[in-house]
Amino acid sequence: MSRSRSKKAELTSLPNIGPQIAAKLKQVGIKTKKDFLAEDPFEVFHQLHKKVDPTLCRCALAAIVGAKLGAPWESITKDSAREYERRYPHHKWGPC
């Protein structure tokens, strides 16, 4: 694999995904951009929240959903939080 191709496969090539979120994604088995794009972002967040970091907030959810949609996290925070609450009605948000 060429160096430029491997860069494109990196999680950090996705919008909103920096080194910290990429490291957390790897802890739940998501190692490449292709792995990430094959998953439901709400389920990814749920697994991260449950298995890796219970302090993740609405902004982290929006970053993950936005990475899947190609949207900036700040433009979808409220909508993604509402959808997550619909899917996981017992979830309680911590502070952002």
Domain 3-87 bears CATH identifier 1.10.150.20: yes
Domains of the chain by residue range: 3-87
**Which whole number is the average pLDDT over 55-73?**
96
Q: Is it the case that residue 11 has pLDDT exceeding 50?
A: yes
Please, are residues 88 and 46 in contact by the beta-carbon 8 Å criterion? yes
Q: Is it the case that residue 7 has pLDDT exceeding 70?
A: no
Q: What is the pLDDT of residues 18-54, one digit of tens each?
A: 999 999 999 999 999 999 999 999 999 999 999 999 9
Please, are residues 44 and 32 in contact by the beta-carbon 8 Å criterion? no
Please, are residues 56 and 45 in contact by the beta-carbon 8 Å criterion? yes
